[in-house]
Structure 1
Amino acid sequence: MTIKLIATDMDGTLLRDDRTYDAAKLRQLLDEMQARGIRFVAASGNQYSKLRDYFKPVGPDQITYISDNGALVSDQGQILAKETLTRDQIKRILEWNKEHNGLTANMIILSGIHGAYVSNHATDDMIRMTKLFYPNVYQVERFLDVNDDIFRVSLIWDEHEDVKEHIKKLRVAFGDELHTTGSGFGSVDILAPGVNKKTGLVELAKLWQIKPEEMVAFGDNDNDLEMLRYVKHPFVMPNAAPFMHKRIATQALNDNNHNGVVDTIEAILADGLTELSN
């Protein structure tokens, strides 16, 4: 089967721990993929503007973006699909978090099309950490007064905290009304119902007439699972948590700190897909 689309998560997958990647090698692979008619998709919890920043060294317009964990799909500067949270949904999330976590247990970030929004009470350290993931950060007095399309609400604990219990509680509280997923670094993302990286790929599949059987995807975390299960050729990173390896059998050739994604793509382009999948 011909491969027509390759999608990758960013943090813990394409990106090294210092948030860099082998730009020179990826640029060569992108040229080859373009010549073969293979689309390259960055599917990430990061915002669109942050993803474009990451790909400046290779040409950001060569990439299609599934950002905010599937809530926004963009190509060549054009929005192809978006799913936002309603004001009432945001209000209910904030009330739930206040009831269960108080005002100091975690940090709240609203991710919108124009930027990220945090409380006026956020400390300088919190703002500095937030700017690692969000280029435009605004402090606000009241989240419900934000005038923007909000794609997700992120609840942030310490980066080493196991957030599985928080996710379970949120899923019990909201059921199918909202989609809750872990996004790494102690973060839990809450999105509109049914929104995930898979739904972004489904939109692209319809637009470009590409079948899941013609797709490859790379990921390392809970928020990648729907995408990895959708494509025929999923690769989990060797550095992923054990629960990911129980769900996805095939590993990338190396971990994120040793060019795992680009080396595996190189092998795929050299017709090594059958060998890699065995």
Structure 2
Amino acid sequence: MADIQLIATDLDGTFLSDDKSFDKALFHVVLETLKNKNIQLAIATGVHQERINVLLADFLNEGMAYVTNNGARVTNANGQLIYERTLAMPILLRIQQLLTAFPVKPSRGLVYSTDDTAYIPREYAHIMLQSHRRYFKQVIIVDDVSEIKAPILKVTMNWQNFDETQFYDAARQTLGDTVHVTETGTGAIDIVPADVNKAIGLKMVADNMGIGMANVAAFGDGANDLEMLTAVGRPFIMPGASITGPFSKVTADNNNAGVLKTILTII
């Protein structure tokens, strides 16, 4: 079995406990152990960098690589941007059109996001709670997506008590293979550029390090982790994950530092 040189972990439902906390003392131990063994850690998540910066505020100088926005943006251990894919304006206009025509509005909101800015259509401004202000450097209200001049990495929409598969189907019919529709890991739906996923983002990190995907371990729990888990040499899923496959099970769940404990046993 190939030596592990890179370990990637999803955040929500995997590394983070349900209340978005984690065992900081144990994380320090794991990071020290990884450094001593010259193993790189990557965060591979559906969320944007600014949210990570809030959640992992005490650990931003630890030289981690980041695969964010479900693979649309990747930075290496030195903080260099090594990959980025954005949604072109004609596609954003088609997404806006689809959401306007779709009979069930995203009752928990709609966000067009860059890495630190949330663009929110005016009709959703009242439901975009303070949490968005916590996780974005700025929130800008727009009347139409054509007003957005910044490069958009993803569009996120969130319903309450609604079967999102209906929207998946509508999005796939309307937008086809011009985009990739996936879950966020936080109970919402993301639309990201075509051919973007965590596996492609993680391969950019591995290529940048000069290692093969056989030398990578990854941890995940949801459908947006599936490509990544299938692509690596040592895939692990959380107990109670919503996906199945030939993956090893993490011994403890996300509320009991399962990822960190498993990392210490495999290295």
For the criterion TM > 0.5, the same-fold answer is: yes
Task: Report if aligned partners of 1:110, 1:116 keep a CA contact under 8 Å in 2.
Answer: yes
Q: What letter corresponds to residue 99 of structure 1 in structure 2?
A: A
Counterpart position of 2:119:
117
- State how far apart, in whole Å, the 1-side matches of 2:233 and 2:106 are: 43
Shift of 1:155: 1.6
Q: Which contiguous aligned blocks of 4+ residues in structure 1 show a shift greater than 4 angstroms?
A: 102-106
- State how far apart, in whole Å, the 2-side matches of 1:182 and 1:125 are: 20
Task: Report if aligned partners of 1:61, 1:77 keep a CA contact under 8 Å in 2.
Answer: no
Identity percentage over the alignment? 30
Task: Report if aligned partners of 1:167, 1:180 keep a CA contact under 8 Å in 2.
Answer: yes
Matched, 1:258 2:260: no
Shift of 1:103: 5.1
Structure 1 stretch 61-70 or stretch 123-132: which is displaced more? 123-132
Matched, 1:127 2:129: yes
Shift of 1:102: 5.6
Shift of 1:57: 2.1
Shift of 1:135: 4.7
TM-superposition CA deviations, 1:2-31 (whole Å, max 9, x none): 100000000000000110111111111111
Task: Report if aligned partners of 1:235, 1:248 keep a CA contact under 8 Å in 2.
Answer: no
Counterpart position of 1:177:
178
Q: What letter corresponds to residue 50 of structure 2 in structure 1?
A: S
2:236 partner SS: strand
The structure whose RCO (Cα within 8 Å, separation 6+) is larger is: 2
Task: Report if aligned partners of 2:106, 2:159 keep a CA contact under 8 Å in 1.
Answer: no
Task: Report if aligned partners of 1:52, 1:60 keep a CA contact under 8 Å in 2.
Answer: no
Q: What letter corresponds to residue 56 of structure 2 in structure 1?
A: F
Q: What letter corresponds to residue 171 of structure 1 in structure 2?
A: R
TM-superposition CA deviations, 1:30-64 (whole Å, max 9, x none): 11111211110000111112212222223444211
Residues 108 and 101 (structure 1), Cα distance of their counterparts in 2 relative to 1, 3 Å cut: farther
Counterpart position of 2:190:
189
Shift of 1:216: 0.5
Task: Report if aligned partners of 2:112, 2:154 keep a CA contact under 8 Å in 1.
Answer: yes
- State how far apart, in whole Å, the 2-side matches of 1:9 and 1:96 are: 29
Matched, 1:77 2:75: no
Counterpart position of 1:275:
none
TM-superposition CA deviations, 1:111-131 (whole Å, max 9, x none): 113411112233555222434
- State how far apart, in whole Å, the 2-side matches of 1:208 and 1:28 are: 23
> TM-score, normalising length from structure 1?
0.88
1:149 partner SS: coil
Q: What letter corresponds to residue 177 of structure 1 in structure 2?
A: T
Task: Report if aligned partners of 2:156, 2:191 keep a CA contact under 8 Å in 1.
Answer: yes
RMSD, aligned α-carbons: 1.9
Structure 1 stretch 107-116 or stretch 231-240: which is displaced more? 107-116
Counterpart position of 2:169:
168
Matched, 1:91 2:86: no
Unaligned regions of 5+ residues in structure 1, if any? 270-278
TM-superposition CA deviations, 1:227-254 (whole Å, max 9, x none): 011001111111322xx0x334321111
Structure 1 stretch 123-132 or stretch 82-91: which is displaced more? 123-132
Number of aligned residue pairs: 265
Unaligned regions of 5+ residues in structure 2, if any? none
Matched, 1:153 2:155: yes
Q: What letter corresponds to residue 12 of structure 2 in structure 1?
A: D
TM-superposition CA deviations, 1:145-196 (whole Å, max 9, x none): 01211001112112x5442332233223222211110113431111111001
> TM-score, normalising length from structure 2?
0.92
